[in-house]
Amino acid sequence: MAAKDSDNTLTIRGTPDDVELLLELVRYLDVKPRVVQVSARLIEIRLSEKGVPKESILQTPTIITRNDTPATCVTNFFDKSETKLGVTPHLNVDGSVSLTLSLSLRLFSGGAIATGEVKKITGLGKQGEWNPIQTISLSVDKEIQKTLRTSIDPPPAAAYPLYRLEVAVTEVSY
């Protein structure tokens, strides 16, 4: 047997039974890589005049990549903001999906930058199910940042506007 990487071929010599056994092994091992489509929503949350949080979707990028292959998407909202979202999906044996995510949001007015690093999200549910991942603030106040990470109470008014990242695995194909 001789393998040639340049054109992805195998040259085989042997008895018909040996050749068939090797062909079965090749069919077993030669599988197409699985492709994962991840959709995201970046939601801006501002306080209304009455102090009630009001949400609006800023951006909805979609990333398509192979299993265990990192991909990055950069989107711009006219001259107002730029979002950079990095995704590395991993398909688990039980059919669920784990994601490693990173998020960077830059607002052009005032040059404020908010970043959120999310190490790993494991066992995302069904395909098409939206999962809130992280809420970030442009505030440089460390106490506000800590409150967002650790408290279940509503954030203080000084934290607004807030930005929430939600993701869904919208398709897995083989």
pLDDT, tens digit, for every residue of 2-21? 888 788 788 888 899 998 99
* CA distance to 58, 64, 88, per residue, from 73 (Å): 15, 10, 12
pLDDT at residue 72, as a whole number: 92
Query: Residues 22, 61: one domain?
Result: no
Most confident of 28-32, 56-60, 62-66, 91-95: 62-66
Over range 155-168, report the average pLDDT. 82
Would you say 63 and 71 are in contact if contact means Cβ atoms under 8 Å apart?
Answer: yes
Those residues with Cβ within 8 angstroms of residue 70's Cβ, 6 or more apart along the chain or in another chain: 86, 87, 88, 100
Give the strand pairing for 81-91 and 97-107. antiparallel
Is residue 101 classed exposed, middle or buried when 0-12, 13-18 and 19+ CB atoms within 10 A define those classes? buried
Work out the percent of the chain whose per-residue pLDDT is above 90: 9
Backbone angles phi, psi at 130, to 5 degrees: -80, 135
For 106-125, write each residue's pLDDT tens digit. Answer: 777 666 666 665 656 666 66
Q: Are residues 85 and 62 in the same domain?
A: yes
Same domain assignment for residues 12 and 52:
no
Residues 51 and 109 in one domain: yes
Q: Which two tokens stand for residue 17?
A: 């039974």
Looking at the structure, tell me whether residues 22 and 60 fall in a common domain.
no
Range of the domain at 7: 1-30
The reply to whether 80 and 124 lie within a common domain is yes
Domain count for the chain: 2
pLDDT in tens, 30-42: 877 788 898 888 8
